Amino acid sequence: MTVLNKSTRNRVSAALLGAALFVTGGLFSAPAQAAQKPTVMVFVDSDRLFVESTVGQNVRDQVKVYVEGLQKSQVQMVNELKAKGSALEAEKDLLTDSQLQQRAYEYEKLKNTLTMELKLQSRAIEMGEARALSEVQAVLKPIFASVMRAHSADVMLDTSMIVVGGVDLDVTSEVMAILNQRLKKLIVKPFTPQEMKPRSAQ
């Protein structure tokens, strides 16, 4: 698990771009106006916002600490399983068939339990990161709206949506400057086991 793997970057882009589209109401929010004047589009690089903004770096630093802790737990799990596996191998000739079968069952059960615990911890970190990003998104919505008004823009798109050509009006730096003023840090907390339960089970 890495801090900025492909799936994480996709979640970031989707979250931040979602805020932009929420503000604009979508690409075709004003068809009548589009017939009267050219559509004015501005662009924002959501990846860059997350990587370079003060709050984005703060969130990533916290997630990195959690991930490193998870990696240490994984190493401990592997070492524990190796030790138990070696002990079982050394004692197998001294055990009856039923005892060996029971010990093997207990080993597999322990391995499955530890593996599931690591998966849950990883998922809890991801959900905690997503929760922090939703807070960033909430702050970005009015910023996007303000920047669009300043440029009399009708639509805001992410730069990742550009297939060919350049960006005439990239407002990423402008958005980031305001974001850095309004939000510098957040507390990233992995979800608790209770929070991860389905609502129907809570």
DSSP 117-140: HHHHHHHHHHHHHHHHHHHHHHHH
* Backbone dihedral angles phi then psi of residue 28, each to the nearest 5 degrees: -115, 50
Give the CB-side neighbour count of residue 190, counting CA atoms within 13 A. Answer: 19
42: helix, coil or strand? Answer: strand
Q: What is the pLDDT of residues 84-108, one digit of tens each?
A: 999 999 998 899 999 999 999 999 9
Listed by start position, the domains of the chain span 6-201
Q: What distances in angstroms separate CA 71 from CA 18, 78, 121, 124, 190, one per listed residue? A: 32, 11, 11, 14, 15
Whether residue 174 has pLDDT greater than 90: yes
Q: Could you write out the DSSP letters of every residue in 16-28?
A: HHHHHHHHHTSTT
Which two three-digit tokens encode residue 167? 């960006």
Whether residue 144 has pLDDT greater than 60: yes
Predicted model pTM: 0.75
Q: What is the pLDDT of residues 31-48, one digit of tens each?
A: 454 456 788 889 999 999
193: helix, coil or strand? Answer: helix
Q: What is the pLDDT of residue 198?
A: 73
Whether residue 21 has pLDDT greater than 80: no
Compute the mean pLDDT over every residue in the chain, rounded to the nearest whole number. Answer: 83
Beta strands in the chain (DSSP E): 41-44, 155-158
**Pairing verdict, β 41-44 and 155-158:** parallel
Q: What distances in angstroms separate CA 96 from CA 81, 84, 85, 89, 103, one per listed residue? A: 22, 18, 17, 13, 10
155 bridge partner residues: 41
Average pLDDT over residues 67-78: 95
7 — pLDDT class (breaks 50, 70, 90) = low
Return the closest-CA partner of residue 45 out of 174, 142, 132, 185: 174
Do residues 41 and 155 touch, judged by C-beta distance below 8 A? yes
Whether residue 13 has pLDDT greater than 80: no
Return the closest-CA partner of residue 176 out of 54, 60, 57, 58: 54
